[in-house]
A and B are shown apart, each in its own frame.
Chain A
Amino acid sequence: MAKKKENRVIFTKQMKKEYKVLLPMMLPIHFTLLEGLLKVEGYDTELLDTGGNDIVQEGLKGVHNDTCYPALLVIGQLLTAIKSGKYDKNKLALMITQTGGGCRASNYIHLLRKALKHSNLGFIPVISLNLSGLEKNPGFKLGLPLILKMIYSITYADMLMWLLNQVHPYEINKGESKELVHIWEKKLLVEFTKSRNLQYKKVKSNLHLIVKDFAAIQKHDIYKKKVGIVGEIYIKYARLGNNDLEQFLLDEGCEVVVPGLMDFLIFKADNRVVDIELFGGKKLKYKITKWLMEKFIVMQDEMIVAIKKNSQFRSVARFYKLKELVNGYVGQGNRMGEGWLLTAEMLEFIHMDIYNVVCAQPFSCLPNHVVGKGMIRKIKDNHQDANIVSIDYDPSATKINQENRIKLMLANAK
């Protein structure tokens, strides 16, 4: 049995050899690559992409019902899996992503542990996946090579997702673009296995190849309404959280535009830098964070170059441009939850001539009162064509009401 320290069960080296690690799904391409990466590193990971009513029921039992919906879902999903009988409870660990900061999302992992304890499953170790050095475990160490690989795979995944969304609605041969994603996923995982250290050059050339592959797919020359999705990170991305919003929009004949994960990572690094600029702090921390942030930004720049050089595809915006966009709306110190990035993403869409936006958040999401709902008024004042609808998600909200509101937005979409 695991030993206890600082009120939690530690994931030991021994466990790494014997335990299965469950990881809840958020973004299909990103998390598939991440799962593959972890497998290469010797973790017996399994990506949970389950759905169904039991998850919500378990979540309602496990956590305070006023807690945000993503916590309720993720915890419900994990508890359902543990109780399904599919896994050996004594040889099981859970992994969830963790961000720090003043949003209550930083408490998810603690709420998960609480829920486990209440179900007499307190012995199951929970691993925090984060880049901030929170909660260390001897059995799970993120070395620099692995961190780099993660950054690369996020770049790949962002690219694949970004292009898939631009091709999929228009493709002549149905399913071609999705198939291409799968081909690349496999190819990249093989590369991860082969080389311990991934070459930056290799990543660069892969990005170019990906763009070329997507550009080669034959498309119908038709006009579709473009709809951007912004919001709380889990609800924005995970279909379990947003009632499969992307599919709904595709069925309504739209092209869906979803910002990548890289922006969020850079944003989180930027927060630390800005925090020190605004309130003071250690110089060394400032420098290290800034360095890491530049690493991310270089990857984003490579993406932009690859897209512009090889295709007519819409390119992602540079992080610094995003940061400029929110001037006059919110400050750069507004960092809890999705912070200023959410406002920036709405504005970025408008600058890309994507005027139709769904702003998706859990019911009563605290940061979104300010950066989401709170900024829509001003965005509309400044951009009369902006067509933004704010949708709340929670255990009892019904799909029909959500869809009706989205339909209203679509009826006015150009």
Chain B
Amino acid sequence: MYLGIDVGSTTVKLVLFDKDYQIIYKKYQRHLSEVRKTTIELLDSVNQFINKEEKLNVCLTGSAGLGLSKDCDLPFVQEVYATQLIVNKKIPDCDVVIELGGEDAKIIFLTNGFEFRMNGSCAGGTGAFIDQMATLLNVSMEELDKLSLAHNKIYTIASRCGVFAKSDIQPLLNQGARKENIAASIYQAVVDQTVAGLSQGRIIEGKVVFLGGPLTFFKGLRDRFVISLTLDEDKAIFPEDAQYYVAMGAAMYAANEDAMLFDQLMENIRNKVSDNKLTNTFNPLFANKENYDEFLARHQKTKVKRESLHNYSGNAYLGIDAGSTTTKLVLLSEDDKILYEYYTSNHGNPVLVIKEQLQKLLSEKNDKTIIKASTVTGYGEDIIKTAFSIDFGLVETFAHYLAAKHFNDKVDFILDIGGQDIKCFRIRNNSVDSVILNEACSSGCGSFIETYAKALGHEVKDFAKKAIYAKQPIDLGSRCTVFMNSSIKQAQKEGAAIEDISAGLSMSVIKNALYKVIRANSADDLGKEIVVQGGTFLNDGILRSFELEINRKVVRPEIAGLMGAYGAALYAKANCPKQGQLISLEKLSSFIHTTSNTTCGLCTNKCSLTINEFDNGKKYISGNRCERPYDNTSEKLHPNLFKEKSRYLRKLVPKKGSRGKIGIPFGLNMYENHPFWYGFLTSLGFEAIISGISNRQLYTKGQHTIPSDTVCYPAKLMHGHIEKLIDKGIKEIFYPCMTYNFDENIGDNNYNCPVVAYYPELLYANIHRLKEVNYHMPYFGIHRRKDFEKKAFEYFSLKFNVTKKEIMIASKNAYAAYEKYKQFILSQGEKAIAYARKNNLQIIVLAGRPYHIDPEINHGIDDLLITYDCVVITEDCISHHIKKQSLGILNQWTYHSRMYNAATYVTTQEDMEMIQLVSFGCGTDAITTDEIREILEKGNKFYTQIKIDEINNLGAAKIRIRSLLAAIENKRSKRG
């Protein structure tokens, strides 16, 4: 008999084969991270089918099986190898296997050259991901599947990791999108991730076998795969027992291994102990009980006075914090006592939650109490304000500051860790000086611990308490959820107790906030009077971790989770209007909220809109990037250099020429260099055709040939641009390799980054269709004109019989065209600045790379700034004002040098602020961001960074921009 045990990341599967490889027994069980215990239980259950006298062959497999096999001295086979064995036997004519597990995703190509793929280190789109998303929607995995079957629309959701996806899904939920559609979109994200992330240039075709738990259980997911891969019915195989295949493969492999008696096997699994010790641990959070008691006593001093809603009569002020995952409500009395408070998870529908709460509050209050004013803040601000006629909308950072100030008048630093975001603000001269928010890929917030507690089978509160008594908190790293999963797995393997994991997670959250989000070097970097808040800080383990790590005592208000709402109420009180607008109880009883979807046709962005309608006749539209769907007006006409540059480039229309068509992929450095190459190629008699402006479809088209899923989004888009050129029937494609950029004499050198410099070669190696055309990727250095002319002649005379004279003329045209474009940028910049100064508008330098003006890359952040009455200029229209600077880093990339100079220039201009756009995964920006922050902060400017990726949601960007604008406003009013 052959026994295969597949110990995966979330479940254990066991299969017993007879000698002919027929299943005698099989079983499947979730292990909740108790791998060994679950395996023993499964073995106990197979006991009855086994002849104790006879030896059997056994083999372990699976991601958690590796550790177990080592500890227990049992045979192990890698799970993909096991899969391959069994599929070859059971379905011999199979071409491709797709297997999704708890935390792994795999593709095996069996025919036409064997190849296998596993998800790399940055990985979403797996069972655990679906689980997380179901939790977010507050449904079970099964319900999620059912919901998905009734969808009528698919949204774009990033699937690279749970954190990313959340930031796409949360706004959809808050904006009232249908759960059915979100469910199906989640599955689509999984499909996209698998296909894009793992196929890496190979086409999934032929007979495809789908394996693993999620693909066995979820019909909706199966449908998405079949549709996306356009598979015929007989080509998509969902075998019986698909979730057991890996275990079956292990059982097959077991035949190669020495046989053992069942009792011996049990003995090994029960008693063999690993010699692993917990390697990376911290000191306990509390040395002893006294220590803990002192801590508790100290933090109990921040109590807030309360009064009964029933008994109070007088004016009252309502604050609502419609957060991303939770909704908070506070009603304040005239003397700042809390009359009513409410904190709940919004279960994906904040409107409903608030409606119920308002009904309760309004009916319970004393008749003599009048709600004079109301304020709403948080993610759901806009929709709630519209739905319930709230008086004010307030940016959440300011709501928090108002509340913190109430508890410590001298507060100079606030750290707020909520369900989804980390926010910190420094306070200087009684105003918020700088605002830092976490990026998409830095998790470590409240919902993260919640998800973990649940995954490990605990209630959040109990789980948090356990941290207090941990003896050896483990170091779990601080990157992202996926990494953390495997860190926990490893720690458990090494025998870490649940207490140690809980404390370790607390520490991770804090370290993530301190070193990744705030980028602090010491406690002095933060401040002296620190207030911490946000629901996450109600967890004593986290509070303690923070105090330990910065070695300083901090204030945690008792209402740490309600601070946003509390601040909003304080704001309402301070800005009380004559007549509050808040919806009445009568109107609430007949309150109706309906949603529908449509696509906006007012511009080329084609935003996918969700329209919320309320019975007060008001509408709230979401998904839009500008205000136009509301008033159907034309664009605001403030200068926007992003748009001006785009317009200029679009005007360079191809001219028919004697040498025929040549295609240029319109992205990365080809964006800024387009005038140059357009001038050059047109002069040579080519019809220089660009691939087009990027959009989501274009990205999807090229997605399957991307070999490295951690490269930046602008680079990924290039794959789509090439596909598009080939689709246009163009036979010559030009995309040179450029180690160097133009030398503008503002840096120590004038490099391009390695990705920009050599991406043409990557495309050639990965896009098979490029063999259908002539792909030109010569090395050119346009920074040395004479040498360029020589090299260009060598290349173009060889390939196109171009004469020396033609090259000289073309080169002259190219340099002139580039110069003209540069001059255009400078003059547009001057115009924009003059316009702003004349109309007294804020100037924002939206700094990044030249290719960030691509609307698919910036997702309309420039438009957003315009709607907030800013004038948008770019780094390259002001960088020439400053000479080459001596900096703390090696200043050797042209695009970077411009940003350093622009930052320095901004510090000399009263009405300018800078926002840096950073592409996710941009390695060189790890260097620029710190340096630019230093330059700006030294010059008393705010540093604002917005990370951009394929995520098409401006929620976080909005908060950042509004916080910045509010801070600027505040600073200005202080100055008088």
Q: Which residues of A contact B (CB under 8 A)?
A: 6-7, 53, 57, 60-62, 64-68, 101-104, 106-107, 110-111, 113-114, 118-119, 275, 278-280, 329-331, 333-337, 363-371, 373-378, 380-381, 384, 390, 392, 394-401, 403-405, 407-408, 410-412
Interface residues of B in 85-137 (CB under 8 A from A): 113-116, 118, 120-122
Contacts of B889 in A (CB 8 A): 107, 110-111, 114
**How many A-B Cβ pairs are below 8 Å?**
217
Interface residues of B in 266-302 (CB under 8 A from A): 279-280
Interface residues of B in 888-910 (CB under 8 A from A): 888-890, 892-893
Contacts of B924 in A (CB 8 A): 104, 366
Contacts of B766 in A (CB 8 A): 374, 377-378
Contacts of A103 in B (CB 8 A): 754
CB of A65 within 8 A of CB of B521, answer no
Instruction: State how many angstroms separate the Cβ of A107 from the closest Cβ of chain B.
Output: 5
Verify if B694 is at the interface (C-beta below 8 Å from A). no
CB of A336 within 8 A of CB of B754, answer yes
Q: A368 vs B115: C-alpha distance in the bound complex, in angstroms?
A: 21
Instruction: State how many angstroms separate the Cβ of A5 from the closest Cβ of chain B.
Output: 11
Verify if B52 is at the interface (C-beta below 8 Å from A). no
CB of B113 within 8 A of CB of A375, answer no
Instruction: State how many angstroms separate the Cβ of A339 from the closest Cβ of chain B.
Output: 8
Q: A411 vs B118: C-alpha distance in the bound complex, in angstroms?
A: 14
Query: Are A106 and B890 also in contact (CB < 8 A) when A363-B710, A377-B765 are?
Result: yes
Verify if B561 is at the interface (C-beta below 8 Å from A). no
Contacts of B886 in A (CB 8 A): 6-7
CB of B487 within 8 A of CB of A396, answer yes
CB of A113 within 8 A of CB of B888, answer yes
CB nearest neighbor in B for A61: B515
B 154-190 binary contact with A (CB < 8 Å = 1; else 0): 0000000000000000000000000000000000000
Instruction: State how many angstroms separate the Cβ of A235 from the closest Cβ of chain B.
Output: 13
In this complex, the member of B477, B516, B929 whose beta carbon has the largest number of chain A beta carbons within 10 angstroms is B477
CB of B791 within 8 A of CB of A377, answer no
Q: Select A369's contact among B114, B480, B755, B929, beta carbons within 8 Å.
A: B755
CB of B67 within 8 A of CB of A279, answer no
Verify if B793 is at the interface (C-beta below 8 Å from A). no
Q: Select A333's contact among B77, B120, B779, beta carbons within 8 Å.
A: B779
CB of B515 within 8 A of CB of A374, answer no
Known A-B contacts: A280-B786, A329-B761, A400-B66. Give 4 more (CB < 8 A): A334-B761, A384-B114, A411-B78, A411-B81
Verify if B970 is at the interface (C-beta below 8 Å from A). no
Q: Select B927's contact among A64, A405, A408, beta carbons within 8 Å.
A: A64
Contacts of B200 in A (CB 8 A): 377
Contacts of B515 in A (CB 8 A): 60-61, 65
Contacts of B939 in A (CB 8 A): none
Q: A334 vs B63: C-alpha distance in the bound complex, in angstroms?
A: 37
Contacts of A113 in B (CB 8 A): 888
CB of B118 within 8 A of CB of A337, answer no
Q: Which 4 A-B pairs have the closest CB atoms?
A: A280-B787, A279-B781, A396-B477, A102-B751
Contacts of A370 in B (CB 8 A): 754-755, 758-759, 761-762
CB of B923 within 8 A of CB of A374, answer no
Contacts of B536 in A (CB 8 A): none
Q: A275 vs B66: C-alpha distance in the bound complex, in angstroms?
A: 48
Q: A275 vs B921: C-alpha distance in the bound complex, in angstroms?
A: 28
Q: A275 vs B708: C-alpha distance in the bound complex, in angstroms?
A: 27
Q: Select B765's contact among A6, A61, A329, A404, beta carbons within 8 Å.
A: A329
Contacts of A335 in B (CB 8 A): 739
CB of A337 within 8 A of CB of B66, answer no
CB of A366 within 8 A of CB of B753, answer yes
Verify if B490 is at the interface (C-beta below 8 Å from A). yes
Contacts of B921 in A (CB 8 A): 364
CB of A330 within 8 A of CB of B758, answer yes
Q: Which residues of B contact A (CB under 8 A)?
A: 63, 66-67, 77-81, 113-116, 118, 120-122, 200-201, 279-280, 475, 477-480, 483-484, 486-487, 489-490, 493, 511, 515-516, 519, 521-522, 707-708, 710-711, 715, 737, 739-740, 749, 751-755, 757-759, 761-762, 765-766, 777, 779, 781, 783-784, 786-787, 790-791, 886, 888-890, 892-893, 921, 923-927, 929-930
Instruction: State how many angstroms separate the Cβ of B121 from the closest Cβ of chain A.
Output: 4
Query: Are A396 and B478 also in contact (CB < 8 A) when A364-B710, A374-B707, A408-B116 are?
Result: yes
CB of B926 within 8 A of CB of A64, answer yes
Contacts of A336 in B (CB 8 A): 739, 751, 754, 757-758
CB of B779 within 8 A of CB of A119, answer no
CB nearest neighbor in B for A59: B515
Q: A313 vs B79: C-alpha distance in the bound complex, in angstroms?
A: 35
CB of B888 within 8 A of CB of A114, answer yes
CB of A407 within 8 A of CB of B78, answer yes
Q: A7 vs B886: C-alpha distance in the bound complex, in angstroms?
A: 8
CB of A394 within 8 A of CB of B121, answer yes
Contacts of B737 in A (CB 8 A): 331, 333-334
CB of A111 within 8 A of CB of B739, answer no
Q: A367 vs B888: C-alpha distance in the bound complex, in angstroms?
A: 23
Instruction: State how many angstroms separate the Cβ of B532 from the closest Cβ of chain A.
Output: 20
Contacts of B925 in A (CB 8 A): 66
CB of A279 within 8 A of CB of B784, answer yes
Instruction: State how many angstroms separate the Cβ of A401 from the closest Cβ of chain B.
Output: 5
Contacts of B122 in A (CB 8 A): 363, 392
Q: Select B779's contact among A331, A377, A384, A410, beta carbons within 8 Å.
A: A331
CB of A405 within 8 A of CB of B484, answer no
CB of A378 within 8 A of CB of B781, answer no
Contacts of A381 in B (CB 8 A): 113
CB nearest neighbor in A for B479: A396
Q: A405 vs B118: C-alpha distance in the bound complex, in angstroms?
A: 8
Contacts of A369 in B (CB 8 A): 707-708, 710-711, 715, 754-755, 762
Q: Select B753's contact among A102, A114, A404, beta carbons within 8 Å.
A: A102
CB of B516 within 8 A of CB of A104, answer no
Instruction: State how many angstroms separate the Cβ of B770 from the closest Cβ of chain A.
Output: 11
Contacts of B923 in A (CB 8 A): 66-68, 104, 364-366
In this complex, the member of A60, A329, A365 whose beta carbon has the largest number of chain B beta carbons within 10 angstroms is A60
Q: A384 vs B396: C-alpha distance in the bound complex, in angstroms?
A: 57
CB of B487 within 8 A of CB of A398, answer yes
Contacts of A275 in B (CB 8 A): 739
Contacts of B280 in A (CB 8 A): 53
Contacts of A366 in B (CB 8 A): 753-755, 923-924
CB of B759 within 8 A of CB of A412, answer no
CB of B765 within 8 A of CB of A412, answer no
